Structure 1
Amino acid sequence: MITQEFAKLWWKLSKDLRTHMETELSPTLTEGQLTVLELLMFSNQDTMKPSDFIEFLNTTPAAITTLLDRMEKGGLITRERDEKDRRIVWVKVSDRGREECERGLKIREHFLQNYLGRISSHNQQLLVYLLGKVANA
């Protein structure tokens, strides 16, 4: 069945990517941390609230707090209280966080280029197009 074959291939690619990223990002960064840094660096705003990350990381507020605690301890982000409403905490990427994000993006880009390099440029475009259709993007 095509769905079983798709699931098998998707699982393998996802597993290979996760394993590669875990190995190459370690010990200074995790994939979840890289996602937070990407969101901070490439969103339309300079700062985000911790609750803004929930929809992108598909996790709980408590897990986000733990993740941000580790990132702050590692010097990847800074957190500041809002001057007008002290209940609001703003998360901002640090210089070290920018460097680590750039490193992580290069690692992922290199991995994906190696995978996609197995097929022609035309088929790469077709694959992205078809995956976009499947994902309703």
Structure 2
Amino acid sequence: MDALANRFYAAVRTFWRGLESEVCKEMASALTGPQMYMLHYIHRERQCKLTQVAEMLEVKPSAVTVMVDRLEKAGYVVRANDPADRRAILVEVTPLGEEVLARAVRKRDEIVEEHLARLTPDERRLVTELVEKLTGGFGA
């Protein structure tokens, strides 16, 4: 089982890195993989504290500040003081950030569809169901 687990991990990692690389290539350096992940999280939360983003990424708040600085400089997010807690900083996605994220998601979907097209309809259904089953123990 150990060899199979290693093969599985290597295949999933290779697929994920290849997907991320292709999407970033399409984005013409508009976003790095980690920036895209952060932008997606902020978009999903609508507005969140920088400390929330740091916790989600499991990094120090200072690392998040640097990444948010770059996203803000590119016009993808804006920061504001939290009216409920003046010590906290809120971040949210701008319309330009929404646009670049939507473009990245469309490209991601195209790439996934290209890879799934290599499989028969039954294989596509099966692999999807199996991955859903494997990820069932993780949070959304």
If the length of structure 2 is used for normalisation, what is the TM-score? 0.83
Contact 1:81 1:88 in 2 (8 A): yes
Instruction: Please list every run of 5 or more consecutive structure 2 residues that lacks an aligned counterpart in the other structure.
Output: none
Contact 1:79 1:89 in 2 (8 A): yes
Q: Residue 14 of structure 2 is aligned with which of 6, 12, 15?
A: 12
Alignment map for 1:81-100 (pairs within 5 Å): 81-100=81-100
Instruction: Please list every run of 5 or more consecutive structure 1 residues that lacks an aligned counterpart in the other structure.
Output: none
**Per-residue deviation at 1:21?**
2.4
Looking at secondary structure, tell me which structure has more strand per residue: 2
Query: Structure 1's 83 and 104: CA in aligned 2 closer, same or farther, altered over 3 A?
Result: same
* Runs of 4 or more consecutive aligned structure 1 residues displaced over 3 Å after TM superposition: none
If the length of structure 1 is used for normalisation, what is the TM-score? 0.85
Contact 2:76 2:96 in 1 (8 A): yes
- What's the Cα RMSD here? 1.9
Which AA in structure 1 matches 2:4? I
Give me the whole-angstrom Cα distance separating, in 2, the residues matched to 1:95 and 1:24: 20
Identical amino acids, percent of aligned pairs: 25
Q: Which residue of 1 aligns with 2:32?
A: 30
Give me the whole-angstrom Cα distance separating, in 2, the residues matched to 1:24 and 1:68: 22
